Structure 1
Amino acid sequence: MKRTHLPLNGLRVLDAAARHLSFTRAADELAVTPAAVGQQIRALEDLLGVILFRRTSKGLELTDEAAAGLDAIREGFLHFEEGVQAIQAGQSSHVYTIACPRDFFAAWLSARLAAFRNDSPHLRFALIGSDGETDFAEANLDLAVRWCDGPGDLEGIPLGPEGTLVVVGPDVADSAPWIAWPGDPAGEVDAHGESAREVHISVGDAGTAISAAAAGLGRVRVPRLLGEAAVAAGRVRALGEPEPGRRGYWLVAPVPQWRQKKVKALVAALQQAADPIGD
């Protein structure tokens, strides 16, 4: 039988049922129903062409054919466990690879990573600047920060408030022209096909847009977290109250990464620190 065709689920059920000599107790161990155990055993019997269990007056009994293969099957599962442990041990427990927008790193994440590292000076960070959906497998990421409306099919937590804030330089008029960036193009058109907002400059990200506003080049709508941090630092002033919205900064990762001990530690630290840097 080819390795790709090995009935691993069925063999795992066989091992549990053989140890307990009970479909019910095997089901409890495997967190399935006794009926599901019975179905797996019958399917395995059909595949292998042998009877694995007999019911007797004393209860469930292994057949000679089943008993003949159990030691090798159990040894195989032990090798699987050792292989998984070796894979996990190969992942560096002191290095974090994180994809993150550069402006978010400068305004929020850098200070939090520094605080997290204070208690564990051996930690190392590899940062990948990214404003999009960097592939976790290709970049070998542990975590990513994204400006989005939720984690999608990944596991994630929000970092700070959702929504946006309009900011402008301290000495700039409220009616200053708009600054555009990819997250807020500021160039929508109205029903007549004319620009609804006057845009005098376009930049690459929200952090640069805030710098442009602070320099007096106009006003800009930016993620609330970044805007409030810039206001707290005195670089810009807010025009009105924060605007609600579905988008915010999310810390995300696939479920396997999310369950790693080192990732859980960093997630917990960042979750506790999920307030604007000026607070």
Structure 2
Amino acid sequence: MPRSLPPLNALRAFEAAARLGSISRAAGELHVTHGAVSRQVRALEDALGAPLFEREGRGLALTAAGLRLRDAAGDAFAGLQATWSALRRDGRSTALVLGCPGSLLARWVIPRLERLAIDLPDLKLHLSAQEGGFDAALAGLDAALLLGEAPWPADWQVHALAPERIGPVLSPRHARFDALRDAPAAALLQEPLLHTASRPQAWPRWFAAQGLDADSLRQGTGFDHLTYLLEAAAAGLGVAIAPRELVQADLDTGRLVAPWGFADTGGQWALCTVRGNSDPRIAALAGWMRGELGA
């Protein structure tokens, strides 16, 4: 006898909206429009013949039927996700899929792969460059290495690795290098500062940590990626700002200098997984990364 199941796309949209308490947040997680989620929920209600949400002020509240379906759907999707993750791991010969922003991959992970292979010889990695952030389900990944701060997605287990520290860097090739390297941090308020669209808060936070008025800073050339930003700084095109660990190799060789030091952002390096992922390789990788960042 064929099984009678609800429309699965509609059920997925409903589960996200019920779990997040918002049609808009569900649309963001699923990378669809607000209207698409609303239509899927209405389709599910039509198939059921009963409402799942009701208006409560300016928000939504689950009906009794909605509460029952939320719990059942959440359990079902969680079980399916765990099984799917296990099958993917088996299917790729036990390689652990690690996602991270391209700048972290190029400037921190790849230079350490040889040492990782020596220290954790049984760990096989498949590296995936991610741009534009991570979805709450970490789709297609076993873990994600990132720089971020709380609040984290509720479905994540977060292995804190080290505090994030950022600071300005410039090259000896910079036209005003001799004047700037001995100047106080306030001198940077007169400089057109290189920046990235992915971290618009970086300069304001650093200036605030110095007790300076961030509203007075001057934005110079912008870049999509941190890697390009730092190459521009190394070419002498301006002063950039970056996490210390991503410029340490350039500081060691003198390609870049950091006259004003680095300041805590309140963020952290973190290795993140979906909650409930008990893969022991993740804890081993987190411990190794802590050691590298501490060194």
Taking structure 2 as the reference length, what is the TM-score of the superposition? Answer: 0.54
The verdict on how the C-alpha distance between 1:186 and 1:177 changes in structure 2, with shifts beyond 3 A counting, is farther
Deviation at 1:202, TM superposition (A): 0.9
User: Partner of 2:195 in structure 1?
Assistant: 180
Distance between the aligned counterparts of 2:96 and 2:144, measured in 1? 11
User: Partner of 1:269 in structure 2?
Assistant: 288
Is 1:211 the counterpart of 2:211? The answer is no
Deviation at 1:168, TM superposition (A): 0.7
Q: What does 1:64-213 align with in structure 2 at a 5 Å threshold?
A: 88=86, 91-92=89-90, 94-118=94-118, 123-135=123-135, 137=137, 139-150=139-150, 152=152, 153=154, 154-172=156-174, 173=176, 174=180, 176-182=191-197, 183-184=199-200, 196-213=216-233
Deviation at 1:100, TM superposition (A): 0.5
Deviation at 1:167, TM superposition (A): 0.5
The verdict on how the C-alpha distance between 1:230 and 1:157 changes in structure 2, with shifts beyond 3 A counting, is farther
Q: Is the 8 A contact 1:98 1:128 kept in 2?
A: yes
Deviation at 1:238, TM superposition (A): 0.3
User: Partner of 1:223 in structure 2?
Assistant: 243
SS of the residue 1:139 aligns to:
coil
The verdict on how the C-alpha distance between 1:166 and 1:113 changes in structure 2, with shifts beyond 3 A counting, is same
Q: Is the 8 A contact 2:85 2:142 kept in 1?
A: no
The verdict on how the C-alpha distance between 1:132 and 1:202 changes in structure 2, with shifts beyond 3 A counting, is same
| 1:236 alignment partner, one of 234, 243, 256 | 256
Deviation at 1:253, TM superposition (A): 1.0
Q: Is the 8 A contact 1:187 1:199 kept in 2?
A: no
SS of the residue 1:161 aligns to:
strand
Letter paired with 2:193: W
Distance between the aligned counterparts of 1:200 and 1:86, measured in 2? 46
The verdict on how the C-alpha distance between 1:251 and 1:150 changes in structure 2, with shifts beyond 3 A counting, is farther
Distance between the aligned counterparts of 1:150 and 1:185, measured in 2? 15
Distance between the aligned counterparts of 2:85 and 2:159, measured in 1? 27
The verdict on how the C-alpha distance between 1:209 and 1:156 changes in structure 2, with shifts beyond 3 A counting, is same
Per-residue CA deviations over 1:149-193 (Å, capped at 9, x if unaligned) read: 1471322233443131110112322255210102136797xxxxx
Letter paired with 2:159: I
The verdict on how the C-alpha distance between 1:105 and 1:233 changes in structure 2, with shifts beyond 3 A counting, is farther
Q: Which has the larger radius of gyration?
A: 1
The verdict on how the C-alpha distance between 1:114 and 1:160 changes in structure 2, with shifts beyond 3 A counting, is farther
Deviation at 1:229, TM superposition (A): 3.9
Distance between the aligned counterparts of 2:200 and 2:269, measured in 1? 15
Taking structure 1 as the reference length, what is the TM-score of the superposition? Answer: 0.57
The verdict on how the C-alpha distance between 1:105 and 1:87 changes in structure 2, with shifts beyond 3 A counting, is closer
Q: Is the 8 A contact 2:170 2:238 kept in 1?
A: yes
Percent of residue pairs bearing the same amino acid type: 23
Distance between the aligned counterparts of 1:263 and 1:86, measured in 2? 17
Distance between the aligned counterparts of 1:86 and 1:198, measured in 2? 49
Q: Is the 8 A contact 2:173 2:235 kept in 1?
A: no
Q: Is the 8 A contact 2:146 2:269 kept in 1?
A: yes
The verdict on how the C-alpha distance between 1:231 and 1:205 changes in structure 2, with shifts beyond 3 A counting, is same
SS of the residue 2:173 aligns to:
coil
The verdict on how the C-alpha distance between 1:241 and 1:119 changes in structure 2, with shifts beyond 3 A counting, is closer
Give unmatched runs, 5+ long, in structure 1. 5-83, 189-194
